[in-house]
Amino acid sequence: MFNKKVLLGAGKDWMPEFYDQGTCRYQLAAQPYLASIARGIRDEAASRAFLLEGTEYAEAYAGAEPPWREQWKRRDPTDSLKCPFWSNYWYEPCRSCDCRIDNSVSMEIDAIFFLRNVEGKTMALHVEMKRDRELLSIGQAEAYQPRAACFRDQRRVRKTLLTHDHFVTILFCGIGTDIPLVKRYFDRVILHDTARSVFAGYPS
């Protein structure tokens, strides 16, 4: 869909758009799930609309498009990353951080995608992937919305993160997840069985 030479410059090595190059060794088991979601967001308006169903932003971001090239260039300006540009976001927590609870550790975000609506507003989609029987760590769920608010409000400089106006936190999960609990901390909780009907190539 996107020409890598136009995007990052002819003659350069380039960071991967997905996991196809085999250069990313992080979260190998989750990669097929995340790649399916990423392709759906890039290519399918219905997939993007599905992610916002039931949220306060579903109407305002109807028909929104991902600023794919812009995010790609911002995330890796030196063209040095080995994992997809939308994956594994982590920044040093702010000193005044309110997105960690006692005995928890600072965690990365599995993926962040962006949508831009017709009014020029930008939405960040913070995605956490948990496979069947894969548990959330202490404080992991509780951190998602406060951390997303910190990113939105630009409480510190994060040069590789697109500036945005709104956010939605999304958990993909399945067997073994305490659904009533996680719904307290994520804007969207999507079961794997549901995701398979929306995202092409989503693992069974």
Asked if residue 10 has pLDDT above 50, the reply is no
SS3 124: strand
Of 93 and 65, more confident? 65
Of 102 and 24, more confident? 24
First-to-final CA distance of the chain: 26
pTM of the model: 0.90
Whole-number mean pLDDT of the chain?
89
- pLDDT score, position 72: 94
Give percent of the chain above pLDDT 70: 87
Q: Tell me the per-residue pLDDT of 94-110, one tens digit each, with 9 for 90 and over.
A: 766 666 666 666 678 99
Q: Tell me the per-residue pLDDT of 25-58, one tens digit each, with 9 for 90 and over.
A: 988 999 999 999 999 999 999 999 999 999 999 9
Asked if residue 6 has pLDDT above 50, the reply is no
* 156-167 burial: b if 16+ Cβ within 10 Å, else e: eeeeebbebebb
Cite the DSSP H helix spans in the chain.
4-8, 31-43, 45-52, 68-75, 140-153, 179-182, 192-196
Q: How confident is the model at residue 173 (pLDDT cuts 50, 70, 90)?
A: very high
Asked if residue 1 has pLDDT above 60, the reply is no
Which residue shows structure tokens 């999960």?
173
Strand order across the beta sheet in which 166-173 lies: 87-89, 109-116, 122-129, 166-173, 188-191
